[in-house]
Structure formats: C-alpha cells, structure tokens
Amino acid sequence: MSAVEETADGPIEVIQVLFALCPNYGLQEVAGPIEVLMNSLHKINDPKTKAFECTIVAGSQGITSSSGVTIKADIDYADAHESLDEYHVLIVPGGKGVEDVIKKDAEEPIKLIKAWTELQIKDTSKERTLMSIGTGSLLLGQAGILQGLSATTHPDYYTKFEIICKEAARRGDLEQTDVMEENYVVNNARFELGENIEENPFVLSKKPDARRKSIARKGSNAWKESVKRRESLARRATLKLGGMRVITSGGVTSGLDASLYLVAAMVSHESALEVARVLQYQWNKGVTVEGIDV
C-alpha cells in the first residue's frame, strides 16, 4: 500500500479507500466510483499527484457481480480488520446481493462497517468517511449506524430502507433515521465558507422544501488540516459517530455524483470538475445536512 506520492513540491499523502464487497454486488456501483477516484489528481496537470488508492475486500479471492463479472479481491475481511486504521474512506456498494446479506444475517460486510464506525468514535483525531452506493445504505441501516442521521438509497428501496432503519432504532436507542429522497446525502461534512459565500461551489440554493443548503470544504489536501487543529478535534468529537463523514447515495449515477463530491471535499473542487470533464459526465449535486467548519 503506497501511502505517499513524491512530487517536486514534496510528498503528498494518498487517500486510502477500501471497497467492501458482498456476492452479487452491482458492478457499476463499484466500477463507477473507482473510475472517478482513480482519475482524481491533487494537481490536475501532474499525473504523479494521484489523490486516491483503492483496495477491494471480499470474502473470497474472486467476487462475482450480479451481472456475472468476477473481480479479484486485494484482501480478505480478516486482513481488512487488521489493517482498518490504514484507510481514510470505506465504501459499501449495493447490488442484488445486499438483500441476501440481510436475510441470511451474514457477518460481512456489516461487521466491518461496525468496526469502522467504532474506530472513529474511539479515535476522533483522524478524519474518516463512510460512503454507500445504492442499496449499500441498507447495510449501513442494518448495522445500526444511521440512527439520528439523514440518509438515502435507491428509489425502489425507500420503503424497505425505512423499515430496516426503524427496526435498528428499536434495537438501539429509538433514535430514528431521516430517509430523504435525494441524489446523495452528506452527514458531518467538513466545510470552509470562505470570504464570499456566493463563490463557494458547495453552497447551493435552498430547495423548495426548505432543506438547508449543501456545504462542504474547499481546497487541495484540505482534509489533512482538520486533524491539526485542536478546535476541529473538539467539535468533531461532539458530532455523532465521532464526526465521521457519512455519505449515502441513490442509484448508479448517484454513486458517481457522490464520488465527485468526495473528490471535491477531500482533494479540490477543481479536481472534481476535471474528473467530470474527462469522463464526459454532468455532476449533479446532493444535499448536506450537518457539518463542522474546519
């Protein structure tokens, strides 16, 4: 695992991303976000400044999607648990296999999701992100970590998602999950409003239903700054899940949009726009429901 890229301006830490797959995952829910992240650069004209490195964890060496394509896993779940603190982002793709995981009460990837969350609660000095694509949010709900947060999923699963979250609330402290019909939903975002709020690319016009504006941080490598400021650590510790950024998204293209948001928030808005240009994709924004100013 390469954690640092050397450049003319010195080392740039590469953001480590772990994709947790279950059998019959959705192929595009994995390939799409990987394509976005691996095209992201800290300096858009310098290919040596790659921003992300992706690792795939699965229960077997070869993991097959619902469309019949088999991907080779980089590590198994035992290794993932041992090296979990080395990662900055955990992504949980959805797919047809998600319902089997819930019905069969399968151990993974729910155990890994819980371990990731507990790691952030115990150690708020590190900025971590948990993101689901499509029905992957059902696994987050089943794990019981969405209580008191807002979240979304694939539109065909809104009702099932609400049921799963309500059952999790009954098992927990009865705090409910606000299921939103949105492209993607961000909890515990990091943001910097800047001197002119109108120039902030993450501040969107209010939606007709008066939900709050979407806000997020700007700036290349800005994610590293929040772990250096005492006030950021103190404020993060007061947020749910130790201030872990939690992103849930709708279907396949919503996963692309959420991935572009992640690039913008952790690398730069410029990098996200460049990735969208390279992929010839129109980035559609989601909503931010909670944040911490770093």
pLDDT exceeds 50 at position 50: yes
Confidence grade of residue 288 (pLDDT, cut at 50, 70, 90): confident
Would you state the pLDDT for residue 2? 46
- Residue 1 CA to residue 93 CA, distance in Å, equals 22
Would you state the pLDDT for residue 192? 55
Share the mean pLDDT of the chain.
86
pLDDT, one tens digit per residue, over 243-273 is 899 999 999 999 999 999 999 999 999 999 9
pLDDT exceeds 70 at position 146: yes
pLDDT exceeds 50 at position 122: yes
Mean pLDDT value of segment 149-173: 95
Percent of the residues in the chain that have a pLDDT greater than 70, as a whole number: 79
In this prediction the pTM is 0.87
- Name the CA dihedral angle for 24, 29, 33, 38, rounded to a multiple of 10 degrees: 40
Mean pLDDT value of segment 60-75: 97
- Residue 180 CA to residue 200 CA, distance in Å, equals 24
pLDDT exceeds 60 at position 102: yes
Would you state the pLDDT for residue 8? 56
Would you state the pLDDT for residue 194? 52
Of 21 and 5, the structure prediction assigns the larger pLDDT to: 21
Mean pLDDT value of segment 157-161: 97
pLDDT exceeds 70 at position 214: no
